[in-house]
Chain A
């Protein structure tokens, strides 16, 4: 197998595993729009990193973190969160696109930041992706019980001495990390898809939160490989192909789950 294909496969699988795991919390806590806002901010990060000649990963991580922290701060103030997130998500995308247009040299590569360009990943990218993914998995493992309790009910968490705001902040920071490691693989527009779709597809197969997380990671990983294969076969862009396979898995599993439920 070609070296670049092997690297692409590793990058796609690593990203999908981390996103599938974290994506369960995004689904359980209804943070999809939150994910969108953070991911769209990544485009601004790309423009800034090209403008100031720093690594794209660092620029994206920085801006995504900033966006995540802004949302976290606002989420306690009782604004209409849905609207605020909509403004931030689309505002970040628009500002990012304008910034890219103004940045010399970034415009040519715009598509690769919007939809990913996994076939060009380097050894260094792989280290960032698997390192970031391991960090996300480690922190989730460490905070798992507290995060689940806070997800079920902030009051239950408080009564048990867990600070739900702190757990929310942990998730927020992890989300920014996943965005930063995913941008090369699926691009800013489809990161939320990689978070949500495997988790949603796993729902009908799972009886416990842990079961759902494992199945989501499995579906994510298989979608990554299937999407890469489809891209090579049909000469389609890799990121959207991965998402297509994941959507297919979601459709099949959800329909099968409904049929099983109807049969009792």
Chain B
């Protein structure tokens, strides 16, 4: 039984068909990453899943009582709206000080509760968004390009934080990203999207799939292979070497 699933979803903006026949599902506790080029409908699919966009065709199935923790790509807080981190964590539901401080610590930004949201750095801001999302004890955490605007060490440490959250809370994670090599290595499953689902599977399977290589070229596949090469054991030497060669 999946937590949330899209079935043959179609979304149109005016005459442009952004998503067509997209089916996908997230199961309990897994980390799924959606990759795809710009304009491939990644964010749209996420917004369909949270209920912000009603698809013209198909449907979204949710487990009843499903709680979603959503981390948007960007959150613009109007400068006229004063908002401390602590107050922000109280949205949409009030939480205790103990829970708020624990969530901030878990997201890697302990002790910022009294600061204004507007005064945070980009990395701190994203982590506060993550803290707010995990406070509702979600069944699934959804993140839309969560590391945009962070440098590489910053985003790598952000992804480690997310894996840590998954490990301690057991929630499923759905991420949208274009940082293929970093993100894919952290995923159980990758969905390659370009208006429709091009291919789907473990990072190894997707990065070797012809549809994926056609979209991203062999260079990025090589980057993934290199990353795996550096950080994993050499359990499939042939497979890796294939991509290693392709990258060069």
The interface of chain A, by Cβ under 8 A from chain B, is 27-30, 145-146, 148-149, 151-162, 199-200, 203, 206-212
Contact = CB atoms under 8 A, between A and B. Distances in A.
Interface in B177-197: none
B68, B94, B142 pick with most chain A CB within 10 angstroms? B68
B83 interface: yes
A30 B75 contact: no
B82 A149 contact: no
A82 to B, nearest CB: 16
A160 B137 CA distance: 12
B83 A159 contact: no
B87 interface: yes
Contacts of B87: 208-210
Given A152-B77, A155-B70, A156-B75, A208 B84 contact: yes
Contacts of A148: 91
9 contacts: A145-B92, A156-B72, A158-B51, A160-B92, A162-B92, A206-B82, A207-B116, A208-B82, A208-B87
A203 B80 contact: yes
Given A152-B88, A161-B51, 11 more contacts: A28-B80, A28-B81, A29-B78, A30-B78, A152-B77, A152-B83, A154-B52, A162-B92, A209-B81, A209-B82, A210-B87
Which 8 pairs, one residue from A and one from B, show the smallest C-beta to C-beta distance?
A159-B70, A158-B52, A159-B50, A160-B92, A149-B92, A206-B82, A28-B81, A158-B51
A152 B68 CA distance: 17
Given A153-B72, A155-B47, A209-B87, A160 B82 contact: no
B92 A203 contact: no
Interface string B15-58: 00000000000000000000000000000000100111000000
Nearest to B88: A152
A155 to B, nearest CB: 5
A30 B80 CA distance: 9
Contacts of B92: 145-146, 149, 156-157, 160, 162
A155 B78 contact: no
A153 B75 contact: yes
Interface residues of B, number: 27
B237 interface: no
Contact of B75 (A152, A200, A210): A152
A154 B76 CA distance: 11
Contacts of A160: 68, 70, 92-93, 136
Interface string B58-73: 0000000000111010
A158 B87 CA distance: 19
Determine which residue in A154, A158, A199, A211 has the highest number of CB atoms from chain B within 10 A of its CB, and name it: A158
A207 B114 CA distance: 9
Contacts of B93: 145, 160
Nearest to B52: A158
Contacts of A206: 82
Nearest to B87: A208
Nearest to A210: B87
Given A153-B72, A160-B136, A145 B91 contact: yes
Report which residue of A27, A29, A152, A210 has the largest number of chain B beta carbons within 10 angstroms of its beta carbon.
Answer: A152
Contacts of A159: 50-52, 68-70, 142
Nearest to A204: B82
A158 B50 contact: yes
A118 to B, nearest CB: 28
Contacts of A152: 75, 77, 81, 83, 88, 91
A71 to B, nearest CB: 19
Contacts of A154: 52
Nearest to A159: B70
A153 B94 CA distance: 17
Contacts of A199: 80
B80 A207 contact: no
B96 to A, nearest CB: 16
